[in-house]
Amino acid sequence: MKDLIRAQIYQILRTRVYFWVLIACLALAVLFGVSEYLNGADDLDEGMLLTASDFFTRCGMIATLFLGFSGFFVSFFTGDDFKDKTANYELMSGRLRKQSFVARVTVTVVFNILLGSLMMVLPLTLYSLLTGWGNSIPVSAAVTRILLMAFPFFRQICFYILLTYIIKRPGYAFLACYGYMCILTLLPAQADPTGAVLAFTSIQNLLHFDYWATFGLERDAQVIYDPNIDTALAVRIIISSLAAGAAYLWAAYSYFHKDDIE
C-alpha cells in the first residue's frame, strides 16, 4: 500500500502539466483577491480598503473555482492510469484491487482538500499583510468555516472519483465533473432547502453571514458580521458529507472491483 501511494505521489510530481495547472489555480485565487482589493471597497476614493475579514465575507467565488479545478485533478489522478494500463500492471504484479483503489483515492482526496484550503487561505494571508485582518469577523470564525468546508469538499471529490472510475477516460471524466459543477451553480437555493444535501449549497451556507451591523458614518463606517454559525446546520453538513462521500467511494470501488479495466 505504501509503495503504491509513493508511486502515485512520484507520478504526480514528475508530471509537469499538473504543476502548471496548480500554479494557474492558485494564481486565479490570488487574482480574484486582487480584483476585490481594487474594486470591492465601498469608497476607495476616501481611503477605505478591504481588510482580510471583509474579503472573507465575499470569497465564495474562490470555492467555486476550486470545485472546477478539483474536477481536473481528480479525473487525471485517478483516471490517467487507465489510459496507459498502469492499473493493469499493478494487478498483474500481485497487487489487490483494494490496495490500488485506496492508494489512488487517498492521494487524490488529501491533495484536493489541501488545495481547496490553500486557495481560501492564500488570498486571506495576502490581505492580512496588506491591510490587516480587520474587525468584520474574528479570525476564529474564518478558520472554523474553512475547516468545515473540508467536508463538502470531500463529498464533491468523492463524487468526481465515482464519475472517473465509471468513465475511465480522464479527459471525458473532467468534462463530466465540470459539467456537473456548472449545473450545481445554476440550481436555485430552493433546490436544497436543508442547505446540506448538495456540496455547493453547503459551501454557500458556510460562507454566508445572515446578520451584520454598520457602525460609524461615511469613511469611518465599519460593517461587523455575526460570526456565529448555526450548530444544527454544521452538524447536518458534516454528517451528510461523510455519508455521501462514503457512499460514492463504495460505489466507485464496487464498480472498479467488478470492472475488466479495458
Contact 249, 105 (CB under 8 A): yes
Radius of gyration of the chain (CA): 20
Alpha helices by DSSP H, the chain:
2-13, 16-39, 52-56, 60-83, 86-92, 97-131, 139-167, 170-186, 199-206, 231-258
Q: What is the mean pLDDT of the chain?
A: 83
In this predicted structure, which of 28-32, 189-193, 241-245 has the lowest mean pLDDT? 189-193
Q: Of 108, 110, 133, which is closest to residue 121 (Cα–Cα)?
A: 133
All residues at 6 or more sequence positions from 88 whose CB lies less than 8 Å from its CB, including other chains: 261
Cα–Cα dist 110/212, whole Å: 35
| This prediction's pTM | 0.88
3-state secondary structure of 215: strand
| pLDDT band, very low/low/confident/very high, at 236 (cuts 50, 70, 90) | very high
pLDDT for 241 equals 95
pLDDT for 89 equals 47
Mean pLDDT to the nearest integer, 198-222: 73
Per-residue cell: 254: 464496487
Sequence spans of domains, the chain: 2-258
Cα–Cα dist 15/18, whole Å: 6
